[in-house]
Chain A
Amino acid sequence: MEGAEGKSQDEILVRLCQNGDKRAFEQLVIRYQDKIFSVIYRFVKDRDTVKDLAQDVFIKAFNSLKGFEGRSSFYTWLYQIAVYTALNHLSLARVRTTRNLEAEEIERGLPDPNAGIGNLLENGYIHGELAQAALAAIEELPEEYKKVFLLKEYEEMSYEEIAETLNIPIGTVRSRLNRARTELRRVLKVEFQ
């Protein structure tokens, strides 16, 4: 994912940023913007919101850069900010949505539990029953398993990178990932046959 050369270039850019070089920070933004977009999108399926949240991620990163001591790589540190920014947005969105739905519930009845997948189908993003079912099942995973699964299967991060990003032991990464897979297999058993 990140070669040794890339990591050392990051270290140089971070040090320059910490000394007040704003062009160095712009280089870091260009370097990681697509990856940050990608990881946020795995959690937040709205493209406009992804762009706003990605901006928030880089602003938070710049403001916290003085305190970055280099114990982890810059890349996993930035990913950590992105994951928690996305999850924080989701938890706030659920609160807002619930409030709205409570009003709607009175008027129209229970909401469609697959509203997220429904949007993707309407927009033509999903083809194939298996892929559809897989996406729905991943959405329903417990959050602790989902985070690890998305970072591993979608972002293709190593165990070590996931452990650094989520600040959990590598053993916990393995066990949560395996539980996510087992759960998805159980849910998708019918589709697999």
Chain B
Amino acid sequence: MDCEKIEDHIFEFLDDCLAPSDRKTLSHHLQGCPDCRMKLEDFLKLRASVKFSKALDPAPVADRDFSRLVMSRLEREGAFVSPSSVQIFVERMREMMAPFRAGWLVPAVALVFLFILPLGILGNLNKNQKGGLPVPGVLNVAENKTQVPEKKPLPEVMAEVEQKPALPKEQDTQQMELEEYLKVHSQYASEPNIAPVSYVNY
């Protein structure tokens, strides 16, 4: 590989971001190229001298009072002065008006709450047979126990009628006596001048 391209790998190696596959390429190249080997050594020495100079010349640290110095300077400059009541009012108005900058969205949401929800509540009121007003905004569908019976298909209904239990025996006997009586009297009615025995005249 080209020594110029290897230099990029050397820098990546120094910054610990060399891909594993490129590490092999670099290692293989360094074995056969003394110039690139020397280049890597020089950069490592440079890094070591930087670390050495840091140790010899450490940066100063802030003393304990530093943060208090900063805060008291901010106070002197008026950074912590409370806003006037007018400023607070203006700021609050800005916050309140901020949602209306969204254009159509807020009016649309407002319309939903003004019209559609009450319609839903009214619909629940009609179904609610147990009485009592529903809680506004809450549709207690689970509490509406009035159930519309299911519509059954006609054949099923007919079968049920046919399977209807028989009338009680007393009613049957009375029905039969009536029918026989009617039979008897209808005979006499069809044959003229034959009166029933009860009607013989003296």
A contact residues vs B (CB 8 Å cutoff): 20, 22, 25-26, 29-30, 33-34, 37-38, 41-42, 47, 50-51, 54-55, 58-59, 62-63, 120, 125-128, 130-131, 133-135, 138, 152-154, 159, 174, 177-178, 181, 184-185, 188-189, 192
Contact = CB atoms under 8 A, between A and B. Distances in A.
Contacts of B62: 33-34, 37, 51, 54
A126 B52 CA distance: 9
Contact of B73 (A41, A42, A55, A135): A55
18 contacts: A22-B80, A25-B74, A26-B71, A29-B67, A33-B62, A37-B61, A50-B60, A54-B62, A153-B50, A154-B54, A159-B15, A181-B14, A181-B43, A181-B46, A185-B43, A192-B42, A192-B45, A192-B46
B66 A59 contact: no
B57 A126 contact: yes
Nearest to B57: A125
Given A133-B49, A192-B42, 8 more contacts: A20-B80, A34-B59, A54-B62, A55-B70, A128-B52, A128-B56, A181-B11, A192-B45
A188 B39 CA distance: 12
Contact of A131 (B52, B61, B79): B52
Interface of B: 7-8, 11, 14-15, 39, 41-43, 45-47, 49-50, 52-54, 56-57, 59-62, 66-67, 69-71, 73-74, 77, 79-80
From DSSP, what is the main secondary structure of chain A's interface residues?
A: helix
Contacts of A55: 66, 69-70, 73
B56 A62 contact: no
Nearest to B64: A30
B101 to A, nearest CB: 18
Nearest to B54: A154
